[in-house]
């Protein structure tokens, strides 16, 4: 891990993930993530010219994307 993503007192949700890690986790192409970031559809952090994604922000975002299908036939 790099200095940006690791620390003795860091919580797992504070970890900054690369676009490659998020791409693999979500099963979407990097180009899709770049597009979503540009459209501000997914939370991200800019580190210079690099995109990083905080795990807790992505988990919260995923919960917001969940479609409730209860009560539908």
**Residue pLDDT, tens place only, 23-57:** 999 999 999 999 999 999 999 999 999 999 999 99
**With pLDDT > 90 as the criterion, what percentage of the chain qualifies?**
68
In a domain, 20, yes or no: yes
pLDDT on residue 10: 65
Q: Which domain holds residue 26?
A: 13-64
Q: Is 51:33 a contact under the CB 8 Å cutoff?
A: yes
Q: How many angstroms separate the CA atoms of 45 and 61, rounded?
A: 14
Helix or strand holding residue 17 (H, E): strand 16-17
Question: What per-residue string of b and e applies to 19-46 under the rule 16 or more CB within 10 Å gives b?
Answer: bebbbeeeeeeeeebeebbeeeebebee
In a domain, 35, yes or no: yes
pTM given for the model: 0.75
Total of domains in the chain: 1
């Amino acid at each position: 891990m790099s200095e940006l993503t690791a620390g003795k007192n860091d919580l797992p949700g504070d970890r900054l993930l690369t676009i490659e890690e998020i791409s693999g986790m979500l099963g979407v192409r990097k180009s899709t993530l770049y597009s979503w970031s540009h459209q501000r559809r997914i939370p991200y952090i800019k580190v210079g010219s690099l995109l990083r994604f905080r795990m807790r922000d992505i988990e919260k975002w995923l919960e917001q994307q969940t479609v409730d299908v209860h009560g539908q036939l």
